[in-house]
Amino acid sequence: MVISANELKTKGISAIDALLEKSDEAIITLRGKQKYVVVDIEKYNYLRECELESALLQAQKELANKQYVEESVDEHIKRIVNEL
């Protein structure tokens, strides 16, 4: 479901609530282009959990494949500064 930023200004949060009753997400457009997505907190927490689970699986895969660097704190700082 889509709502314009202008409509959101005039109708307020009740417009978002109405959209979220019909759909899992509300898309806010700005000047005719999709700009933001609003979801309820339960959906957000679920998506965040999925993101963290994916990051954990990726880290476990990298550890298993020895795709990591062992270094001191000073070496690490130098390496990331040089990568910038």
The pLDDT tens digits of the residues spanning 22-59 come to: 999 999 999 999 999 999 999 999 999 999 999 999 99
What's the number of domains the chain is made of?
Answer: 2
Residue 7: CB partners within 8 Å, gap ≥ 6?
15
Could you give the C-alpha distances from 32 to 3, 6, 69, in angstroms and in order?
10, 10, 46
Domain encompassing residue 77: 42-83
pLDDT value of position 4: 96
pLDDT value of position 50: 98
Residue 16: CB partners within 8 Å, gap ≥ 6?
3, 8, 26, 38
**33 and 48 assigned to the same domain:** no
Rounded (to 5) percent helix, strand, coil in the chain:
60, 20, 20
5-17 pLDDT tens trace: 999 999 999 999 9
pTM (global) more than 0.75: no
**35 and 54 assigned to the same domain:** no
Work out the mean pLDDT of the chain and round it to a whole number.
96
**35 and 55 assigned to the same domain:** no
